[in-house]
């Protein structure tokens, strides 16, 4: 059994800027920037253009210091554990070097038993070298590629977004950003405990579960010990298995009966078992236990290398033998300074539930989320697509870097693999595409050992029941060699393109089955704009430095993202007449433009079920005060798109198709695994005239064409309503030729709140 003593709390932070040593108070977990703001050294970085001030701190050295008493322990190991240490650090206790770390993304452990005093206070120092300086020691080869501002990140294992991204400022940062503690591990204890579901039989309520375990044993090994695995539901023992152990590892296939299965949100209950692994001494006493929650389910990603309008293809998640239509979002950093992630998690996840998302894609430019995140996904039936933390670059292929990635992957896989919500490992975000952007004449299937060998093998070796996707989007050898334009034959895609008319051919003609990124810009709430900008910079947007900073421009001289505000203004022009001449109307118009676009994207995929199999829109909430594709801003204020998405991500939804031959086809989908029946009607918001009414029945996991509505002769706003088991639901359709009048649209919107 392990015991922990936490070293979180107040520390001293020393730093060297321009060779001058300064000292302030620090909070752990934390980030150095937060401490500098709290000490008054830096102003509020989110305000105006202040984020650029951090450029002067990128080459600082940081030293965290504190004292602590030696914890009492009898035997076993005594380890200093960093759950998150950013990034190039040397750790000293009582002036003696304990070890080094160079990866902010994984846990670090150091044996410190021989470094502590028997009595009195110990000192600990964590010396952090600047990541930018360390990153510049790597001289990239001609086969590597990065965005202009990201080259220093290629050999550094930090969250990629920290060097500047289109959704994040450049805050390279440093700090002890997750918990730090001293752990006393008994001489003999369980190390790895792993379960994975091999097969399920829904009719018989049985399942075969693969079990694997290892444990630390003493030098004086004696036979006769056992490993016991117990499955509890609602505090009742449901299945129990016991195995004799003649060495320090074992595996078995467990045949479970009377199983309550885990299902994604909308398809069924997310049933979880309380699992206990116990290491038993030959006299029957318990040496050690490990407990966790586990959902019994199978998940397969069924995919083909290519698809097209004419030929069959596939990219679909199958859970317990049932195809699941995916509706969800991309999960990006909850905060630019990751020590704040934990405080923002609960509020963000409540929105995931409220929006009825059944999948989250953990994007590869982020950190790896901790157990608290996955626990929420397990409990609430939210599937997780997990990218490894590699994004939009062509990384080094050196033996040393491959070794670093292997260690990281194994650490993360072993940590997270018992979470039943985790359904897919993906090698990276858009790196297959980066081989095209870069102009490199290289095939990732041949050149990229990271995604094709290292990460693939790590999953095969440590998580044998989960699928692995090399990249998102994935450019297979067959796809590359096909000869047709890749965007026409991809089964899974990121649909960004020109970001012009959201009903334009780029979006409407996509043949992909599954879109894992798609988004549209919308301003934050006016009150949020006031919080992030100085009063004199709120309006107009043209030629406005603070608007560009919050667009997000990583550095003042890095103008690559300056187009984004003009792009948003142009998107407003697609749907409305003219450009608003005041901040309030500009914000509202941009949010409506975003809301209608995301609504169109989601409905197009839902109405295409199961030729279309899922959509993960970009994105839920900002991790920095900014003007972005998120539907909730950094201050938790919801944009108009939030309510639109909430309505159309219901398990049962009624929608209007785009007009064909003078009519809108009315489509209804049912994503539950039970048949549903009810009534639906469509009426004109202006006149209240009923245009369509019908009773309906939809089979489980099905879709129907309910009828047709004539195309409007003039601009109109259709109210779509349906009722199931006495519960009413609402949607809308914006009918007629564009552009519309903003004042009129705002009147129509009020009908949705009735």
Query: CA–CA separation, 730 vs 655, rounded Å?
Result: 10
Could you tell me if 662 and 634 lie in one domain?
no
Tokens 């505090």 identify what position? 235
Parallel, antiparallel, or unpaired: how do β-strands 614-617 and 326-331 relate?
parallel
pLDDT for the residue numbered 703: 98
Query: CA–CA separation, 499 vs 573, rounded Å?
Result: 13
In a domain, 727, yes or no: yes
CB 332 within 8 A of CB 619: yes
Parallel, antiparallel, or unpaired: how do β-strands 236-245 and 225-233 relate?
antiparallel
In a domain, 70, yes or no: yes
Could you tell me if 503 and 588 lie in one domain?
yes
The helices-and-strands tally (H runs, E runs) of the chain is 18, 39
Could you say which of 185, 200, 227 is where a domain stops? 185
Other Cβ atoms closer than 10 A to 134: 15
Tokens 């989007």 identify what position? 473
* Domain that includes residue 662, residue range: 652-751
Could you say which of 185, 214, 248 is where a domain stops? 185
Tens of pLDDT, residue by residue over 586-600, are 999 999 999 999 999
What total number of domains does the chain contain? 4
Could you tell me if 461 and 557 lie in one domain?
yes
Could you tell me if 283 and 411 lie in one domain?
no
In residues, how long is the chain?
754
Tokens 């870097």 identify what position? 401
pLDDT for the residue numbered 572: 97
Residues 135, 138, 143, 149, Cα dihedral to 10°: 30
- Kindly calculate the radius of gyration of the chain based on its CA atoms and give it in whole angstroms: 27
Nearest to 455 by CA among 426, 431, 481: 426
Contacts of 377 (CB under 8 A, 6+ apart): 360, 383, 384, 419, 421, 422
Which of helix, strand or coil describes residue 189?
A: strand
In a domain, 233, yes or no: yes
Enclosing H/E stretch for 713? none
CB 266 within 8 A of CB 358: yes
Which of helix, strand or coil describes residue 546?
A: helix
> Domain containing 104 — which CATH number?
2.60.120.260
Tens of pLDDT, residue by residue over 433-463, are 999 999 998 999 999 999 999 999 999 999 9
> Domain containing 446 — which CATH number?
3.20.20.80
Nearest to 614 by CA among 726, 522, 721, 493: 493
Could you tell me if 71 and 114 lie in one domain?
yes
Other Cβ atoms closer than 10 A to 132: 17
Nearest to 649 by CA among 288, 355, 432: 355
Integer distance in angstroms from the first to the last C-alpha of the chain? Answer: 57
Could you tell me if 337 and 214 lie in one domain?
no
The residue ranges of the chain whose pLDDT is under 50 are none
pLDDT for the residue numbered 222: 63
Enclosing H/E stretch for 141? none
Tokens 């102003």 identify what position? 43
Could you say which of 648, 672, 687 is where a domain stops? 648
Could you tell me if 711 and 737 lie in one domain?
yes
Cα 169 to Cα 149, 234, 431, 561: the distances in Å are 11, 46, 21, 11
Nearest to 706 by CA among 652, 647, 662: 652
Could you tell me if 622 and 658 lie in one domain?
no
pLDDT for the residue numbered 1: 58
Parallel, antiparallel, or unpaired: how do β-strands 77-82 and 108-111 relate?
antiparallel
Beta-bridge partner residues of 101: 89
Could you tell me if 287 and 355 lie in one domain?
no
Could you tell me if 157 and 273 lie in one domain?
no
Contacts of 744 (CB under 8 A, 6+ apart): 715
pLDDT for the residue numbered 51: 97
Residue 124 tokens read as: 């600990």
Could you tell me if 524 and 394 lie in one domain?
yes
Query: CA–CA separation, 523 vs 533, rounded Å?
Result: 13
In a domain, 216, yes or no: yes
In a domain, 267, yes or no: yes
Label residue 241 exposed, middle or buried (CB < 10 Å: 0-12, 13-18, 19+).
middle
List of E strands, 166-248: 168-170, 175-176, 180-185, 189-201, 206-216, 225-233, 236-245
Could you tell me if 739 and 663 lie in one domain?
yes
């Amino acid at each position: 059994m392990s015991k922990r003593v936490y070293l979180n709390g107040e520390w001293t932070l020393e730093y060297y800027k321009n060779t001058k040593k300064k000292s302030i108070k620090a909070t752990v977990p934390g980030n150095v920037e937060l401490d500098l703001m709290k000490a008054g050294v830096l102003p509020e970085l989110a305000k105006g253009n202040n984020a650029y001030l951090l450029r002067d701190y990128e080459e600082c050295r940081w030293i965290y210091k504190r004292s602590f008493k030696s914890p009492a322990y009898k035997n076993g190991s005594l380890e200093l554990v960093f759950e998150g240490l950013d990034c190039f650090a040397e750790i000293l206790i009582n002036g003696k070097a304990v070890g080094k770390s160079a990866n902010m993304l994984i846990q670090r452990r150091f044996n410190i038993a021989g470094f502590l005093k028997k009595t009195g206070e110990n000192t600990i120092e964590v010396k952090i070298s600047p990541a930018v300086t360390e990153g510049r020691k790597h001289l990239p080869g001609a086969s590597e590629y990065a965005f202009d501002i990201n080259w220093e990140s290629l050999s550094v294992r930090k969250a990629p977004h920290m060097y500047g991204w289109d959704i994040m400022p450049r805050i390279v940062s440093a700090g002890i950003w997750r918990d730090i503690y001293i752990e006393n591990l008994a001489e003999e204890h369980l190390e790895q405990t792993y379960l994975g579901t091999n097969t399920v039989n829904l009719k018989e309520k049985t399942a075969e579960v693969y079990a694997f375990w290892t444990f630390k044993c003493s030098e004086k090994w004696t036979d006769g010990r056992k490993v016991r695995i117990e499955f509890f539901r609602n505090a009742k023992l449901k299945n129990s298995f016991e195995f004799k152990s003649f060495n320090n590892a074992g595996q078995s296939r467990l045949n479970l009966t009377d199983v309550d299965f885990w299902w994604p949100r909308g398809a069924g209950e997310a049933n979880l078992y309380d699992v206990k692994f116990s290491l038993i001494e030959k006299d029957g006493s318990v040496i050690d236990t490990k407990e966790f929650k586990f959902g019994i389910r199978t998940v397969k990603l069924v995919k083909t290398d290519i698809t097209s309008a004419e030929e069959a293809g596939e990219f679909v998640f199958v859970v317990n033998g049932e195809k699941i239509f995916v509706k969800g979002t991309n999960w990006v950093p909850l905060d630019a300074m990751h020590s704040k992630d934990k405080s923002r998690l609960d509020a963000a996840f409540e929105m995931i539930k409220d929006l009825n998302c059944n999948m989250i894609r953990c994007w590869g430019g982020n950190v790896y989320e901790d157990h608290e995140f996955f626990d929420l996904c397990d409990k609430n039936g939210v599937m997780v697509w997990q990218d490894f933390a590699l994004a939009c670059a062509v990384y080094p292929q050196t033996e040393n870097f491959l070794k670093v990635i292997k260690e990281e992957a194994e650490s993360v896989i072993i940590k997270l693999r018992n979470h039943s919500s985790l359904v897919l490992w993906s090698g990276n975000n858009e790196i297959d595409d980066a081989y095209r952007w870069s102009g490199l004449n290289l095939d990732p299937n041949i050149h990229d050992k990271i995604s094709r060998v290292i990460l693939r093998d790590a999953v095969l070796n440590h998580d044998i029941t989960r699928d692995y996707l090399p990249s998102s989007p994935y450019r297979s050898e067959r796809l590359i060699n096909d000869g047709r334009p890749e965007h026409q034959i991809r089964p899974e895609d990121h649909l960004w393109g020109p970001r012009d008319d959201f009903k334009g051919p780029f979006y409407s003609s996509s043949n992909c089955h599954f879109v894992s990124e798609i988004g549209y810009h919308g301003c934050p709430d006016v009150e949020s704009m006031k919080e992030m900008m100085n009063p004199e910079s709120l309006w107009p947007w043209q030629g406005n430095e603070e608007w560009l900073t919050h667009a997000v421009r990583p550095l003042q001289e890095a103008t690559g993202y300056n187009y984004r505000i003009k792009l948003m203004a142009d998107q407003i022009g697609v749907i409305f007449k003219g450009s608003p001449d005041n901040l309030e109307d500009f914000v509202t118009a941009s949010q409506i433009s975003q809301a209608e676009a995301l609504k169109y994207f989601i409905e197009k995929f839902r109405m295409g079920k199961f030729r279309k199999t899922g959509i993960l829109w970009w994105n839920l909430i900002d991790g920095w005060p900014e003007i972005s594709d998120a539907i909730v801003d950094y201050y938790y204020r919801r944009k108009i798109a939030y309510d639109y998405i909430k309505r159309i991500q219901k398990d049962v939804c009624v929608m209007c198709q785009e007009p064909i031959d003078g009519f809108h086809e009315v489509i209804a989908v049912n994503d539950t695994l039970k048949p549903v029946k009810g009534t639906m009607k469509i009426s004109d918001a202006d006149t209240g005239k009923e245009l369509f009414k019908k009773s309906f029945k939809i089979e489980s996991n099905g879709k129907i064409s309910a009828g047709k509505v004539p195309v409007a002769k003039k601009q109109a706003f259709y109210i779509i309503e349906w009722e199931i088991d006495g519960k009413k639901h609402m949607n809308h359709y914006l009918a007629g030729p564009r552009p519309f009048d903003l004042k009129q649209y705002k009147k129509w919107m009020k009908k949705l709140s009735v």
